[in-house]
Chains A and B, each alone.
Chain A
Amino acid sequence: MYKTLIRLTTVLALATASAAPVFSQEPVRIGLITTLSGPPGYLGEDMRDGFNLAIDSGDGKLGGIPVELLVEDDGLNPGNAKQIAERMVRRDNAEILTGIIFSNVQMVVAPVALMNDRFYVSSNAGPSPMAGARCHENYFVSSWQNDAMHETAGIAANDAGYGKAVIMVPNYRAGKDAVAGFKRYFEGEIVDEIYTKLGQSDYAAEIARIRSVEPDMVFYFLPGGMSINFLKQYDQAGLIDEIPIIAPMVSMEARILSGVGEAALDMRATSFWNADLDNDANREFVDEYRAAYDREPTPWAAQGYDAARLIASALQTSGGKVTEDPEAFRAALREADFEAVRGSFEFQSNQHPVQSWYLLEVQKNDDGELHLATIDTIVSEHGDPYVDDCNLSR
Chain B
Amino acid sequence: MLLLVEQLLNGLQLGVFLFLVSAGLTLIFGIMGVINLAHGSLYMIGAYTGATVTQASGSYLLGFLAAACAAGLSGVVMELLLMRRLYARDHLDQVLVTFGLIVFVNEAVTMIWGRTPLFMDIPQALSGSVEILPGVPYPVYRLAIILAGIVAAVGLWLLIARTRIGMLIRAGSTNREMVSGLGVNISRLYTLLFAAGAVLAGVAGAFAGPQVSVQVGMGESILILAFVVVVIGGIGSVRGAFVGALLVGLVDTLGRAFLHDLLGLFLPPAEAAGMGAALSSMGIYVVMALVLIVRPRGLFSVRPAS
- Report which of B214, B252, B253, B281 forms a contact with A259, defined as CB distance below 8 A: B214
CB within 8 Å of B: which of A227-249? Answer: 228-229, 232-233, 236-238
Closest 9 CB pairs of A and B: A259-B117, A195-B277, A228-B213, A225-B213, A42-B115, A204-B10, A205-B256, A171-B277, A39-B217
CB within 8 Å of A: which of B240-291? Answer: 252-254, 256-257, 269-270, 273-274, 276-278, 281
Q: A7 on the interface (CB 8 Å rule)? A: no
- Cβ contacts under 8 Å, A196 to chain B: 256, 277
Q: B141 on the interface (CB 8 Å rule)? A: yes
Asked whether A258 and B7 contact (CB < 8 A) given A229-B211, A233-B211, the answer is no
Q: B222 on the interface (CB 8 Å rule)? A: yes
- Report which of A37, A224, A232, A258 forms a contact with B210, defined as CB distance below 8 A: A232
Q: Is the CB of B253 within 8 A of A237?
A: no
User: Looking across the interface, which residue of chain B has its beta carbon closest to that of A260?
Assistant: B119
Q: B212 on the interface (CB 8 Å rule)? A: yes
A to B CB contacts below 8 Å, 17 in the list: A38-B216, A39-B215, A42-B116, A171-B277, A193-B270, A193-B273, A194-B273, A201-B218, A201-B221, A204-B13, A204-B253, A205-B254, A205-B257, A209-B257, A225-B212, A236-B129, A237-B139
Asked whether A205 and B141 contact (CB < 8 A) given A45-B115, A256-B117, A261-B119, the answer is no
- Cβ contacts under 8 Å, A41 to chain B: 110, 115, 216
A207 to chain B, nearest CB (A): 8
Q: Is the CB of A202 within 8 A of B14?
A: yes
Q: Is the CB of B213 within 8 A of A229?
A: yes
Instruction: Report Cα–Cα, A295/B117, bound state, in Å.
Output: 13
Provide the B94-116 mask, 1 if CB < 8 A to any CB of A, else 0.
00000000000010001000111
Q: Is the CB of B137 within 8 A of A237?
A: yes
Q: Is the CB of A255 within 8 A of B116?
A: yes
Instruction: Report Cα–Cα, A224/B256, bound state, in Å.
Output: 21
Instruction: Report Cα–Cα, A199/B277, bound state, in Å.
Output: 14
B282 to chain A, nearest CB (A): 10
Q: Is the CB of A39 within 8 A of B13?
A: no
- Cβ contacts under 8 Å, A202 to chain B: 14, 17, 211-212, 252-253
A42 to chain B, nearest CB (A): 4
B147 to chain A, nearest CB (A): 16
Q: Is the CB of B277 within 8 A of A259?
A: no
CB within 8 Å of B: which of A164-205? Answer: 171, 193-197, 199, 201-202, 204-205
Q: B88 on the interface (CB 8 Å rule)? A: no
> Quick one: which of B17, B117, B142 has the most chain A CB within 10 A?
B117
User: Looking across the interface, which residue of chain A has its beta carbon closest to that of B140?
Assistant: A236
- Cβ contacts under 8 Å, B116 to chain A: 42, 255, 258-259, 295
Q: B128 on the interface (CB 8 Å rule)? A: yes
Q: B90 on the interface (CB 8 Å rule)? A: no
Q: Is the CB of B212 within 8 A of A229?
A: yes
Instruction: Report Cα–Cα, A295/B113, bound state, in Å.
Output: 13
A contact residues vs B (CB 8 Å cutoff)? 37-39, 41-42, 45, 171, 193-197, 199, 201-202, 204-206, 208-209, 212, 224-226, 228-229, 232-233, 236-238, 255-256, 258-261, 295
Chain B interface secondary structure, helix, strand, loop or mixed? Answer: helix
- Cβ contacts under 8 Å, B7 to chain A: 205, 208
- Cβ contacts under 8 Å, B10 to chain A: 204-205, 208
- Report which of A42, A206, A232, A255 forms a contact with B256, defined as CB distance below 8 A: A206
A219 to chain B, nearest CB (A): 15
User: Looking across the interface, which residue of chain B has its beta carbon closest to that of A238?
Assistant: B129
Asked whether A232 and B216 contact (CB < 8 A) given A42-B116, A205-B256, the answer is no
Instruction: Report Cα–Cα, A42/B137, bound state, in Å.
Output: 36
Q: B59 on the interface (CB 8 Å rule)? A: no
A179 to chain B, nearest CB (A): 10
User: Looking across the interface, which residue of chain B has its beta carbon closest to that of A212?
Assistant: B3
User: Looking across the interface, which residue of chain A has its beta carbon closest to that of B119?
Assistant: A261
- Cβ contacts under 8 Å, B128 to chain A: 238
Q: B302 on the interface (CB 8 Å rule)? A: no
Asked whether A208 and B211 contact (CB < 8 A) given A39-B218, A201-B221, A259-B118, the answer is no
Q: Is the CB of A225 within 8 A of B13?
A: no
B82 to chain A, nearest CB (A): 22
Instruction: Report Cα–Cα, A138/B281, bound state, in Å.
Output: 40
- Cβ contacts under 8 Å, A171 to chain B: 274, 277-278, 281
Q: Is the CB of B215 within 8 A of A208?
A: no
Instruction: Report Cα–Cα, A228/B213, bound state, in Å.
Output: 5
B283 to chain A, nearest CB (A): 10
Q: Is the CB of B215 within 8 A of A236?
A: no
- Report which of A195, A225, A261 forms a contact with B273, defined as CB distance below 8 A: A195
- Cβ contacts under 8 Å, B3 to chain A: 208-209, 212
B290 to chain A, nearest CB (A): 20
Asked whether A225 and B118 contact (CB < 8 A) given A171-B274, A204-B10, A209-B257, the answer is no
Q: Is the CB of B212 within 8 A of A232?
A: yes
